[in-house]
Amino acid sequence: MITIKNLRASVEGKEILKGINLEVKAGEVHAIMGPNGSGKSTLSSVLAGKEEYEVTEGTVQFNGKNLLDMPAEDRAREGVFLAFQYPVEIPGVSNINFLKTAINEIRAYKGLDPIAPKDFLDRVKEKQKLVELDGKLTGRSVNEGFSGGEKKRNEIFQMAMLEPKLAILDETDSGLDIDALKIVASGVNALKSKENAFIVITHYQRLLDYIIPDFVHILYNGKIVRSGGKELALELEAKGYDEIKKQFETESV
Amino acid sequence: MIAEKSHTAQFLIEKISASASKVGFVNDAVLTKALLYLENKGIPSNKNEDYKYCNVEAVFKKEFKNPEQRFIGIESISPYRLPGTMCLVVVNGTFLERLSDVNKLEGVKITPFNELDQATKKKIGSIANVESDGLIALNTAFAGNGFHLKIEKGTQLQTPIQVIYVSGSDGESIVNPRNLIEVEEQGSATIIEQQVHIGEGKVFSNLLSEKFVAKQATLISYIFQNEGPLGYSVNTNQVVVAKEGHYDNTTITLGGQLVRNNHQVVLAGEYSQAHLNGLFSAKQQQVVDNHTLMDHQVPNCESNELYKGIVNDKSTGVFNGKIYVRKDAQKTNAYQSSKNILLSDDATINTKPQLEIYANDVKCSHGTSTGKIDENALFYLNARGIGKESGRKLLLASFAQEVIDKIEVESLREHITHLFESEI
């Protein structure tokens, strides 16, 4: 589904990603773990198309297309979804209007007619149940006045509404209590299929108790330094990041 | 010291005098005062602090070099009519009964200035001081046959009144529409005033409205400005609110080469309140200048102001909001907020909140912010598949929503929402 080769990116002249290689196939869940400042959020922003980041080298192929050539909106229309670590509040734009606009722009890109109002409402009802999102919230302005947990659940709700091929969850677990974490995770698990894939970016192993990854990668200093199965996350949890830091700092000297 | 006379003003007086109708709604003494003030002080220029960003004198010199006063009329106002309103029409400063729905509503009295009784005539000019502003003097000296609108005591008017000021010219013309609006005790009314420009010539429309809101009366006022690049307008709106009275104004400016709004509200009776809201969107070389003055004269009154502006290209937006709390006006609550979005590096916003407080037991605050479109919010929308252009529109519409939502007349709100969305 997505093939990242030797991806290097900088922001304001400072190189953050220093040659990332990653391949994710349909039906897979990949976890990317790493200490603060390792480049986790930069990777998700670069993949989603945030313009502040300059890609200096490398390629990203998404279902055979060059992802890096596309503006953010086309990446979303092609099926890339980023669940934001810090969802943005947009006063005055209702959640419903926002989602309808998004769905219809994605449909227009694919040459489809706008969604029928009834189908849209049915989908809203079905999907908000999935993340136990209060119906009142969907009528409000996007994320405005939402609690941290509500914002994260709203991200998963949007994901469910837009049905992406590849979802990148950027520290979706941060700031969530255990109940909210379970709701978010069960939402993700319900959406998982053979046709889609997930990249779960997280600092802690905790989320991976509920969303079981097929692969775990450790990102450190802008590179994936180790990859393995789900047991790698447990090892990391037990030993902490210090060992990784020590090992690779020495190597880079 | 003998003041140097204003050449621009003298030239204007000569040019306009010939075509001006002699309605005689003010007495000769006031007329003389107005002309003298105009001759001596002239049309306000950027040397006047209140007109720093809105040099009306320069506009007269440059754009109205030869005011030929070649007016053109209008046969039908149906393109501008909102459904479900009672309509009053003023064409080039003259109230036209022929195009208006006159006296169709109970408790509403509409009288052209030339048919007014002496007692009512005296009220004209009782708020608008000819020696305070050259544009008030200009209007007082040359206003056409305006109208007096009265909502009689206890009348709770359900039908909104729409006043359409049409200015049409095939040359350079200056018009001075004028009215006097009274809502008597315990009466209530909604009035929508709209300025419309027609024809191929430039028009400078210098509108002056005096409004009295009596004891326990309510006046909900909307001003909608959407003139094209040939329209220049000044809208002076002076209001006095009596005890327990309520005045609301929402001014929406979407068009016009130069638009200057002077809103002055005097809270003259205890427990009265006033709310001023504004939304403007300017582009190209437009200048939109909003000046408000909220004058708290007595205790226990409340006022709120919310102004939002969007400026693009090389346009200029101004919000200058003065709150005056007099010595006696204890327990005043007065709030003001101005928020603006700059869409271009060449566009300018000037905001100036001014609080002058002479009472010691008051709650007053003001805030102002000016920024670019929120790039993080735009990226969030893009990341959901919403394109740059529609994302930008969605954000601007959401910015404007807070003001547009103040409009309680549904047909007007929908009309403005639609126009706003096509403008941005």
Q: Where are the domains of chain A?
A: 2-252
pLDDT digits (tens, 9 = 90+) for A120-165: 999 999 998 888 887 777 778 999 999 888 899 999 999 999 999 9
Nearest residue of A to residue B382, measured between CA atoms: A73
Question: What residues of chain A lie within 8 A of the CB of B383, using their CB?
Answer: 48-49, 72-73, 75-76, 81-82, 84
Q: Is-contact A25 A195, C-beta < 8 A? A: no
Dihedral sign, Cα of residue A221, residue A222, residue A223, residue A225: positive
Name the one residue in this structure whose structure tokens are 């810090």: A86
Q: Between helices A117-130 and A178-191, what is the axis angle to 10°?
A: 130
Whether residue A251 is predicted with pLDDT greater than 60 in this model: the reply is: no
Q: Is residue B145 part of a domain?
A: yes
* Band (B66; pLDDT cuts 50, 70, 90): confident
- Which of B277, B287, B128 has its CA nearest to residue B208? B128
Q: Name which residue leads in pLDDT, A243 or B246.
A: B246
- A169-184: average pLDDT: 87
Q: Is residue B326 part of a domain?
A: no
Measured CA to CA, the distance from residue B45 to residue B56 in angstroms comes to: 6
Per-residue confidence (pLDDT) for residue B21, from 0 to 100:
65
- In this structure, the number of other CB atoms found within 10 A of the CB of residue A126 comes to 11
Give B206's strand partners: B234
Cβ distance B380 to A84 less than 8 Å, yes or no, reads yes
Per-residue confidence (pLDDT) for residue A245, from 0 to 100:
81
- B324-331: average pLDDT: 96
Whether residue B103 is predicted with pLDDT greater than 70 in this model: the reply is: no
pLDDT digits (tens, 9 = 90+) for B289-300: 999 999 999 999
Cβ distance A90 to B377 less than 8 Å, yes or no, reads yes
Per-residue confidence (pLDDT) for residue A253, from 0 to 100:
42
3-class secondary structure for chain B? CCCCCCHHHHHHHHHHHHHCCCCCCCCHHHHHHHHHHHHHHCCCCCCCHHHCCCCHHHHHHHHCCCECCCECCCCCCCCCCCCCCEEEEEECCEECHHHCCCCCCCCEEEEEHHHCCHHHHCCCCCCCCCCCCHHHHHHHHHCCCCEEEEECCCCECCCCEEEEEEEEECCEEEECCEEEEEECCCCEEEEEEEEEEECCCCEEEEEEEEEEECCCCEEEEEEEEECCCCEEEEEEEEEEECCCCEEEEEEEEEECCEEEEEEEEEECCCCCEEEEEEEEEECCCCEEEEEEEEEECCCCCEEEEEEEEEECCCCEEEEEEEEEECCCCCCCEEEEEEEEEECCCCCEEEEEEEEEECCCCCEEEEEEEEECCCHHHHHHHHCCCCCHHHHHHHHHHHHHHHHHCCCCCHHHHHHHHHHHHHHC
- A71-82: average pLDDT: 97
Name the one residue in this structure whose structure tokens are 């006045």: A145
Given B269, B292, B327, the domain boundary residue is B269
Whether residues B379 and B252 share a domain: the answer is no
- In this structure, the number of other CB atoms found within 10 A of the CB of residue A139 comes to 11
Q: What residue type is assigned to position B27 of the chain?
A: N
Cβ distance A90 to B398 less than 8 Å, yes or no, reads yes
What mean pLDDT value characterizes chain A?
Answer: 91
CA distances from B316 to A246, B204, B292, B351, B396 (A): 58, 18, 17, 11, 18
Q: Is-contact B180 B150, C-beta < 8 A? A: no
Q: Is-contact A150 A184, C-beta < 8 A? A: no
**A88 — contact with chain B (CB < 8 Å)?**
yes
Gap from B394 CA to chain A (nearest CA, Å) = 7
How many domains is chain B built from? 2
- Which of B267, B311, B259, B315 has its CA nearest to residue B290? B259
What proportion of chain B, given as a percentage, has pLDDT over 70?
98
pLDDT digits (tens, 9 = 90+) for B142-188: 998 999 999 999 999 999 999 999 999 998 999 999 999 999 999 99
Helix and strand numbers, DSSP H then E, in chain A = 9, 12
* Band (B370; pLDDT cuts 50, 70, 90): very high
Per-residue confidence (pLDDT) for residue B376, from 0 to 100:
93
Per-residue confidence (pLDDT) for residue B298, from 0 to 100:
98
Per-residue confidence (pLDDT) for residue B149, from 0 to 100:
97
Six-digit token string for B34:
């107005």
Per-residue confidence (pLDDT) for residue B17, from 0 to 100:
79
What mean pLDDT value characterizes chain B?
Answer: 93
Six-digit token string for A165:
């091929």
Measured CA to CA, the distance from residue A87 to residue A142 in angstroms comes to: 9
Given B269, B288, B309, the domain boundary residue is B269
Question: What residues of chain B lie within 8 A of the CB of A141, using their CB?
Answer: 398
Half-sphere exposure of A47 toward its Cβ, with a 13 Å CA cutoff? 31
- Which of B391, B381, B390, B392 has its CA nearest to residue A158? B381
Whether residues B50 and B175 share a domain: the answer is yes
Cβ distance A105 to B390 less than 8 Å, yes or no, reads yes
Q: Is residue B159 part of a domain?
A: yes
Whether residue B2 is predicted with pLDDT greater than 50 in this model: the reply is: no
Given B269, B293, B310, the domain boundary residue is B269
Cβ distance B383 to A72 less than 8 Å, yes or no, reads yes
Q: Name which residue leads in pLDDT, B7 or B205.
A: B205
* Band (B4; pLDDT cuts 50, 70, 90): low
Measured CA to CA, the distance from residue B322 to residue B328 in angstroms comes to: 18
Per-residue confidence (pLDDT) for residue A250, from 0 to 100:
56
Whether residue B212 is predicted with pLDDT greater than 80 in this model: the reply is: yes
Measured CA to CA, the distance from residue B56 to residue B133 in angstroms comes to: 12
Per-residue confidence (pLDDT) for residue B47, from 0 to 100:
92
- B204-220: average pLDDT: 98
Q: Is residue B162 part of a domain?
A: yes
Name the one residue in this structure whose structure tokens are 């040019």: B15
Whether residues B252 and B393 share a domain: the answer is no
Q: Is residue B77 part of a domain?
A: yes
| Residues 6 or more apart in contact with residue B24 via CB below 8 angstroms | B114
* Band (B9; pLDDT cuts 50, 70, 90): confident
Question: What residues of chain B lie within 8 A of the CB of A105, using their CB?
Answer: 385-387, 390
Whether residues B260 and B381 share a domain: the answer is no
Can you identify the CATH homologous superfamily of domain A2-252? P-loop containing nucleotide triphosphate hydrolases (3.40.50.300)
* Band (B240; pLDDT cuts 50, 70, 90): very high
Question: In which element (H, E) is residue A218 found?
Answer: strand A215-220
- Among B377, B394, B399, the residue with its CB nearest the CB of A88 is B377
Gap from B420 CA to chain A (nearest CA, Å) = 15
Q: Is residue B120 part of a domain?
A: yes
- A57-85: average pLDDT: 96
Q: Is-contact A184 A176, C-beta < 8 A? A: yes
- Among A77, A97, A141, the residue with its CB nearest the CB of B385 is A77
Measured CA to CA, the distance from residue A118 to residue A121 in angstroms comes to: 5
Cβ distance A72 to B401 less than 8 Å, yes or no, reads no
Measured CA to CA, the distance from residue A96 to residue A87 in angstroms comes to: 16
* Band (A36; pLDDT cuts 50, 70, 90): confident
Per-residue confidence (pLDDT) for residue B1, from 0 to 100:
43
Task: Find the domain containing B263 and state its range.
Answer: 7-269
Question: What residues of chain A lie within 8 A of the CB of B394, using their CB?
Answer: 93, 97-98, 101
Gap from B398 CA to chain A (nearest CA, Å) = 4
Per-residue confidence (pLDDT) for residue B286, from 0 to 100:
96
ipTM higher than threshold 0.85:
yes
pLDDT digits (tens, 9 = 90+) for B266-292: 999 999 999 999 999 999 999 999 999
* Band (A240; pLDDT cuts 50, 70, 90): confident
Whether residues B265 and B380 share a domain: the answer is no
The four Cα atoms A104, A106, A110, A114 give a dihedral, to 10 degrees, of: -10
Measured CA to CA, the distance from residue B129 to residue B138 in angstroms comes to: 11
- Which of B333, B214, B234 has its CA nearest to residue B289? B234
Measured CA to CA, the distance from residue B239 to residue B261 in angstroms comes to: 13
Q: Name which residue leads in pLDDT, B13 or A251.
A: B13
